[in-house]
Structure 1
Amino acid sequence: MEKEFEPACRRMEWLDPFYKAVWEKAFAEGIPISGTFELTPRCNFNCKMCYVHLKEKDIPKYGKELSAKEWLRIAEEAKEAGTTWLCITGGEPLMHPEFPEIWKGLSEMGFFLTLQTNASMITGEIQTLLEQYPPRQVKITLYGSNDEVYEAVCGVKKGFTRVNDGIHTLMSMGIPVTLVSTIIRQNAEDAEKMAFYAYVHRLPWDSTIGVRPSLRGADLDLNDVRFSEKLEENRKKNMEKRISKSSFLDPEKKPCTYCKDYRLGYWILWDGTVSFCSFLNESGISVRNVPFQKSWKLLLEYEETLEWPEECQTCEAAKICERCAERVRNRKSSVDGQESFCEQTKRLYKEICKE
């Protein structure tokens, strides 16, 4: 069935033409070409802005981790369905009790693997494992340029020292490394030094100030970490840019159509829940005791049933709102007295109109 809107991959100008053609075909035919396996909510760090991390004793309250046998069964079925790219993440994925077995199995299946890690555990058995079964790339979360900042952000001693050692180990192995950072109040003054660290090591670096609320039980205080003022400033600039360029959202398009994983990508959370977004974990679809192909079909149907709330259909700021399926899910809620997403959008829109 031909779609009336363009897939996100068509707007990725940096994408190699061959891969762009592959992704376009996947979109047209609804092939799950790209997946993310969130192996565990465990982590050896306790980052203030993390929406996933759970203490080991709290995991049973929220679900049961998939075993290595279950992950590999899912991977086999996903491969048969067309999955080529896999990102392995967590929590800290290396903390999964059966990580070596999972990684070896996925590697032998021939996936293009990306490992997302804090890099503090790239030693011993893990180092040997990655030497034998190297990933296509490793995406490392960098949260400071020294141990003091890491302790403030991640609550651990010698965090930067361990991460820095892990980065150099991976580089010495010839494995491509990319750095990503979340900037919060506790590491904001160190952001330039993080950028310089990436520059000196000639590593790609991306940063964000976006922090989402935790809906999975993680201990996250948005008021403590979020740059509310900077986020509002950025939102207002983006809205003004949309107006100046007449680049408006189409209220007729469904929420999922703005997501790069729409019709060709998926997330499997640590408890077996299937979604197209790490922030949306309420699809009601599980792959634990269901064949992957069936779960994927249900996910495609779920994406098509999602609609914008009625309030979005009549909102005066609808065309310049930065909404997405996840953001509008709790559109009327606020955190400890802060404005809700919708309240802030309407206020900023009125300010722009006055100006």
Structure 2
Amino acid sequence: MSTRSTPPQQATLAATLLGYAKLVKYKFVVDFFLALVIVVTLIGPTALGSPTTLVTLLLFAMGMLGVLAAVMTLDDVTGAADGSDDLNYVQVEDTSLRPLDRKPLLTGELTVARARAFGYACLAWGALWWTFAILHTPHQPLWVLVVTPLLLFLSVQYSWGLKFSYYGMGEAVLLFSAAAFLIAPYGLLTGEIPVLVLVQGLLFGFGQLLIAGYSNTNDIRGDRAAGRRTVAVLVSERGNRVFLGLLTTANLLVLVVPVLTGSLPWTFLLFLTPFLVLRVYQYAGFLATGDPLRARSRGIKAFRAVVACMLVYNLFQLVQ
């Protein structure tokens, strides 16, 4: 009986493609693309039926793919170059919640030089498609023309270029970037920014922020050694707990205040209650155990829950 084996060239190509997929953290990129799913439920089927809207959405999605790939890639390039990823992923006892396999630059699947070139190409790809999106859409209010290029510029500066996360400003950049991935395409499609869109954008942004905040807490030793001055590095252990508590509180206020002021109906809070419970559970669990990676894992669940809750609410609004 003969057995078939994969030709060496095909095996090498498959391994390389898998390495790039890991480099761009494709699972997290998919999470970011949920922002566009939310936008679709916000604008509704009537607006979506317009060819102009569909083309603009497609152009933004193509650019978003490149920008996100650049952000993830250049973050790993920086982490490999300054040694922080080695300290945070290799020189640790338990890697079950953040496997080393996610870091192809550390496992040798890809070289730093290739990754850097790939990151630059992805950024250029994103800039090109977003330019097409802006030129194509008839909705060009000033705020959209500011937010979209600013998103392109700031998103990659988190740990590359200006390296805002190395100077205690990474949280602000991440909150803006994640929120803008929802707000910017809605603006390009409609030219507007109603309260509901702003709130859902901020909830999306806090969802990503309160994953990264606990990652930074886990990475204090490696980040400090590499000169990366995140908030977790700059403050004491107690100060970091307070900071994460303030972020959690701000996240909940984004949800509650618009309802209390009458800007959004009480049904919005009702639909978002499961997320609210998960967010409180995340922080309370961290205070009880002190385990940042466990809290990070719960943050991922809370992020996906808030997306699901917003989608259900938006669909409910469409059928009313």
TM-score greater than 0.5 by the shorter chain: no
* Greater fraction of residues in helix: 2
Larger strand percent = 1
TM-score when normalising by structure 1: 0.27
TM-score by length of 2: 0.29
